[in-house]
Structure 1
Amino acid sequence: MQETAGRRFRHATMRDYPQMERIYEHARELMARNGNPTQWGHTFPRPEVVKDDIVNHRAMLLVDKANGKERILAQFALCPGEDPTYKHIEGAWLDDDAYVTIHRIASAGVVRHAARECIEWALKHYGNVRVDTHPNNKAMQHVLTSCGFARCGLIQLLDRDTDTTRIAYQRHEW
């Protein structure tokens, strides 16, 4: 595993889009190989969603330098404000305080614990973070619980017709 020295977070730009698409493709393949073929299927996130994240400054990248060139280690959408999907939960959120949501997190697969580093960065900078994942995504469930997130219940995605159930998590740095 490489050291975290030299790693930093920045907003994605449209120049990053082709590499981001390759990382999402890698993530879809990895999820399918690990028993989670339906969370993202073959097309999620859609290109227009990723581009919208970039344009609206929600797309964040964890980057470093290798051989003098910047490389993307992981990416995610950091969405401030109330998430409509989280309005109804079978269970209960930890609180009703302002929060940010992490969506569409994916590691490039070139260093270990990159997704965890993204989550820890969001906690450090925003304090109250919500996230959800598919019941079959055991790897992300492990990352979230090992980062101290509480399992709050189940939510239903609003932008899909099938396979809509997700496990909702929250961590609030008091």
Structure 2
Amino acid sequence: MQQIYAHARELMARTGNPTQWGHTFPQEEVVRDDIAHRRSMLLVDMVDGRERILAQFALCPGEDPTYASIDGAWLDDDAYVTIHRIASSGLVRHAARECIAWALKQYGNVRADTHPNNKAMQHVLETSGFARCGLIQLIDRPTDTTRIAYQRHEW
């Protein structure tokens, strides 16, 4: 999983988004905590009898404290899950889109956020039917805190 996150950090830096994850995010403790709390989701396939991880993300149920304050408005106040730390291994195209589609099918009401420089994720979310709801501020870091907030609710 750390190799996939390293690949994602390199790709983000090459495409004009070097600060969202920097050189070390997510740290190993965060990944281990996601696994321990059963938030880690993997998109896999089989090729020649071998399982490959195509993408991974954290799926976080319950209210996200970062989303309590938004410069804008969420679509609703219904229960939701949040997608965090989505990363593709680079083995196939549209892996992130498939992860998002799965989360929507399973949970119906999904929120996510991304860095203003992460044009690729903005495109994926918007073409997956998510509404841009406003701006949030991350509460777990001192700088580079602004994120664009998205939501899609399957009624």
TM-score normalised by length of structure 1: 0.89
Is 1:169 aligned with 2:150? yes
Q: Which runs of 5+ in 1 are unaligned?
A: 1-19
Letter in 1 for 2:13: A
The whole-number CA distance in structure 1 between the counterparts of 2:150 and 2:21 is 19
Letter in 2 for 1:57: R
Q: Percent identity?
A: 82
User: C-alpha offsets along residues 2-59 of structure 1, whole Å, 9 cap, x if unaligned?
Assistant: xxxxxxxxxxxxxxxxxx0000000000000000000000010111000000011000
**Which of structure 1's runs of 4+ aligned residues deviate more than 4 A?**
none
Is 1:72 aligned with 2:32? no
Q: Which runs of 5+ in 2 are unaligned?
A: none
Instruction: Look up the match of 1:140.
Output: 121
How many equivalent residue pairs?
155
Instruction: Look up the match of 1:122.
Output: 103
Shift of 1:66: 1.4
Instruction: Look up the match of 2:11.
Output: 30
The whole-number CA distance in structure 1 between the counterparts of 2:26 and 2:101 is 23
The whole-number CA distance in structure 1 between the counterparts of 2:51 and 2:29 is 25
Letter in 1 for 2:120: A
SS in 2 for 1:161: coil
